[in-house]
Structure 1
Amino acid sequence: MTAPRRPFMDPRDLWTEALAGVLARPMRSVLTTLGTVLGIATLVITIGVASTAGNQIVGRFSALTATSVTVVAPSQPGDDGLVDWSGTDAVERLAGVESVAALADSDTTANVQVRANNVIAPGGALGQSLAVVAASDDLPKAVRGAMAAGRFFDTGNIARHDQVAVLGDQAARLLGIRAVQDAPAIFFEGQSYTVIGILGGIQREQRLSTAVILPPTTAADRVGLEHPTRVLVNTRLGAAQQVARQAPVALAPGSPNTLTVLAPPDLSKARKGVEGDVNSLFLVLGLVSLVVGAIGIANVTLVTVMERVAEIGLRRALGASRRQVSAQFLLESATIGLLGGVIGAATGVVVVVCVAAAKHWTPVLDYRLALGAPLAGALVGLLAGLYPSLRAARMEPVDALRAPS
């Protein structure tokens, strides 16, 4: 004789019973759902803000660093030099180049005693230790600076070998020179130079702010700086890698491999790196919040099972199977998790958009995250309700009915 089959429970009836169980204690359900809301919202906010901030950081990084290329030419005393001052013209013709300038410096001119007058008082300071460099006439644009006073030397000054100089703004401050209308002079190594301008706002090669900048011809005649040691190139966004490959050939066609090129990393890799670092830093917070929410659902579901022992015993006595009892409590916990996921995802999206708007950023949101968050909440609720549902299913009808109500 075969055992009678358990009656099949319609899924709609199962859903009705689970929903009734959730709504029977609305305040408890709301507080339980809050844990999942916080967990899901934290995850969405973390990933959304990380992606938005990563995009913004890369955008700011691109404004200067990602468009800057530097070509370094090794220089030995007495050699003919690998790069000529006129080589910048060939680089300027490359596609994607916005500005280019050449610089020359050396160890012997890195610390030169410079004075603002030629009178040395007894016991007075011998001057300021400043770097002396040579540069082409388009240096201000290449270093993204601006003339704070006077003007930069031009091709006429270069052609005439004029003994003129331009000071970085910090160097001018150290020497006590604030204006150039009266043609102030500076002195070093027994030579005098007329200061015709002060260069400020330097964004590239900021050490030039404490330097004395001479025309190339004057520097070659007076301090031995004959050949460029560095070429500064500013490119359009996205052209840096291409210019970095072509610039050595344009500067030294016969020996491009002897030049060292300093180019920015690929922007896509930088963006992924920034997003990855920020995500890994803050994602733990979201996971911890989600685990706390899961524990809250498990505790409340377990308490609910203990409070409804008599109901479980009655259902089992009326023919409900262990599977049906387990499914009811699993569905209740999954429903709480699903509601928490929906509310948490919506809250997270709103917070990300508000943060981006407050910072004047462009919000970056992955639609898969927003759509997957409710499912993640339901899965958390399902896992959290697994143990309480199994405990409810293992109750014997007789023992459950005997339990105190």
Structure 2
Amino acid sequence: MTTIMDRPADAEPLPSPHRLGSGDMFRLGSHGMRTRPLRAVLSALGIAIGIAAMIAVVSIPASSSKALSDKLAALGPNMLVIKPGKSFMGQDAPLPKTAVPMIQRIGPVTAAGATGNIATTVRRNDQIDPGETSGLAVYAAEQNLLDVLNGKVHSGKWLDPVSAKYPTAVLGSVAATRLGMDNIDPARPPQVWLGGQWFTVVGILAELPLAPEIERSVLVGWDVAQQRLAFTGNPGTVYVRAQDNQVQNVRRVLAATASPEHPNEVEVALPSEALEAQNLAQESYSALFLALGGVALLVGGVGVANTMVISVLERRREIGLRRALGATRRQIRGQFLAESVLLSGLGGLVGVVLGVGVTAAYALSQSWPAVLPPIALFGGVAIAALVGAIAGAYPAMRAALLTPTSALA
């Protein structure tokens, strides 16, 4: 047998060992996936679920925040709400009848309107049990209230100087739903049984997120409430609009202005703060779901590692043959590491598509704009590839340490 030592001196030199490029590595890695498609799909599925969960958890709160920002921009974050508090003896303290005119004298205040509490119930007709209130309240409303709230009429019209003097009513969006009304036919307007008499419904309001109590109420004119429903004329809630840069300054003087004699019996709130607090609570839950998505991703990574370990055991002869034909340990390690990264990357891509689909579907169901942070989309694939590299490191090293003799034995 001729050996290298027996070669003549003038013989042609042996070719240098061929080095596998990155393209060759990935082709070898994809070959391993193609030969076992079902196992590859099941392994990638775990990664896909984890990435999809993380994309959705990041994108859905972003969509919610964008919807909240748009809602506050449309309704105005400069609205303040004044309500009566408790007296020193713990009793309900009514607001003075002069509260609204006094508040309107504050320089930065641009508008103020009030509702008044009416101790009566509303029903669809006079045959319904008087105890069945449907959880609805009845308020007297000033004519400028809708402008102060930046509200809109869904159907019909708002109370005008004429209708406010007669037994007419406007329903909040929730109240209309509970009373079984969705629109107003001017030719045949519906009626409700209110305070032992019929009131004609002339309008239905659109949603008012900054004033949810209005959504669950029936509103009647200030004058007719005093004439027919024993309304005292004291405002129950005052809604105030102020200049954007003066909201906090106005807030500090509202209580003393509304009730100079008893400012401690007045409560002042900023509804936009409640919405922002609600959004913050949603973000806290999002952090929890993000952690759960991370756990799913970890489980997916363990699945990929398990698949690669089994692949190394099943392909011992292939590894031994390639080693016998001159493949280096580095090349064997690169082949299996590339297969693991490709497997996880495929799962990451599928997960991004799933996450985008879930986010878009949920945002559409909530009438939100779908917001997809780019860092979440690109980061999802990158994280999946990183998980694949970590998961495939040990199986790749194990494959590289196999000797030709032990692998082919």
Q: TM over 0.5: same fold? A: yes
Q: Against the structure 1 CA distance between its residues 243 and 208, is the aligned structure 2 distance closer, same or farther, given a 3 Å change threshold?
A: farther
Give the C-alpha shift of residue 52 in structure 1: 1.6
> Residue deviations 1:102-145, cap 9 Å, x none?
6377xxxx579xxxxxxxxxxxx999999998776656766868
CA contact (8 A) 1:69 1:233 kept: yes
Given the alignment of the two structures, is residue 103 of structure 1 paired with residue 112 of structure 2, yes or no?
no
* Pair 316,361 (structure 1): closer, same or farther in 2 beyond 3 Å: same
The answer to whether the 8 Å contact 1:101/1:232 transfers is yes
Equivalent positions of 1:183-202 (< 5 A) are none
CA distance in 2 between partners of 1:198 and 1:336 (Å): 63
Q: Which residue of 2 aligns with 1:173?
A: 193
Q: Which residue of 2 aligns with 1:119?
A: none
Q: For residue 300 of structure 2, what is the amino acid of its counterpart?
A: G
| 1:36-115 mapped onto 2 (5 Å cutoff) | 36-56=47-67, 67=79, 69-72=81-84, 74=86, 84-92=96-104, 95=108, 97-101=110-114, 103=116, 110=119
Q: Which amino acid aligns with 2:113?
A: V
Inter-partner Cα distance in structure 2 for 1:134 and 1:263:
22
Which secondary structure state, in structure 1, belongs to the residue aligned with residue 97 of structure 2? coil
User: How does 1:147-226 map onto structure 2 within 5 Å?
Assistant: 147=159, 151-153=163-165, 173-174=193-194, 177-178=197-198, 204=213, 209=218, 225=232
Query: Does the 8 Å CA contact 1:128/1:174 hold for their aligned counterparts?
Result: no
Q: What's the secondary structure of 2:197's corresponding residue?
A: coil
Partner of 1:331: 338
Contact 1:165 1:214 in 2 (8 A): no
CA deviation after TM superposition for structure 1 residue 333, in Å: 0.7
User: In the alignment, residue 25 of structure 2 is paired with which amino acid?
Assistant: E
Which residue of the partner structure matches residue 374 of structure 1?
381
Q: CA deviation at 1:278?
A: 4.3
Partner residue, 2:317: 310
Please state if 1:20 is matched with 2:31: no
User: CA 1:13–1:165 in 2, change beyond 3 Å: closer, same or farther?
Assistant: closer
1:232 equivalenced with 2:244 (yes/no) = no
Deviation at 1:173, TM superposition (A): 0.7
Letter in 2 for 1:277: Y
CA distance in 2, matches of 1:126, 1:41: 52
In structure 2, the gaps of 5 or more residues are 1-15, 122-128, 172-178, 180-190, 207-211
The answer as to 2:297 corresponding to 1:297 is: no
CA contact (8 A) 1:58 1:270 kept: no
TM-score, length-scaled by structure 2: 0.62
Q: 1:388 matched to which residue of 2? A: 395
Offset of residue 347 of structure 1: 5.0
How far, CA to CA, are the matches of 2:82 and 2:328 in structure 1? 76
Residues 60-107 of structure 1: per-residue CA shift (max 9 Å, x gap)? 688779646123255699xxx8954233124235546544126377xx
Number of aligned pairs?
346
The separation in 2 between residues aligned to 1:128 and 1:19, in whole angstroms, is 72
The match for 2:282 is 274
Which sections of structure 1, spanning at least 5 residues, go unmatched? 1-7, 113-124, 154-163, 181-196
Tell me the amino acid that sits aligned with residue 173 of structure 1. Answer: W
User: Counterpart of 1:395 in 2: which secondary structure?
Assistant: coil
Q: TM-score, normalised by structure 1?
A: 0.62
After superposition, give the CA deviation of every residue in 1:277-328 in whole Å (9 maximum; x if it has no partner): 24534762x4455345324422332232123212333455677665654344
After superposition, what is the alpha-carbon deviation per residue over 1:163-222, rounded to whole angstroms, capped at 9, x for unaligned? x98878799515563358xxxxxxxxxxxxxxxx98976963578649996679879xx9
**1:63/1:10 Cα in 2 relative to 1: closer, same or farther (>3 Å)?**
farther
Task: Describe the SS at the equivalent of 2:213.
Answer: coil
Residue 58 of structure 1 deviates from its aligned partner by 6.7
Distance 1:50 1:82, change over 3 A: closer
Indicate the percent of aligned positions where both proteins have the same amino acid: 25
Could you tell me which residue of structure 1 aligns to residue 257 of structure 2?
A: 250
2:24 is matched by which residue type in structure 1?
A: T
- Aligned-residue RMSD, C-alpha: 5.2
Partner secondary structure for residue 198 of structure 2: coil
Q: In 2 relative to 1, CA 319–242 (structure 1 residues): closer, same or farther, beyond 3 Å?
A: farther
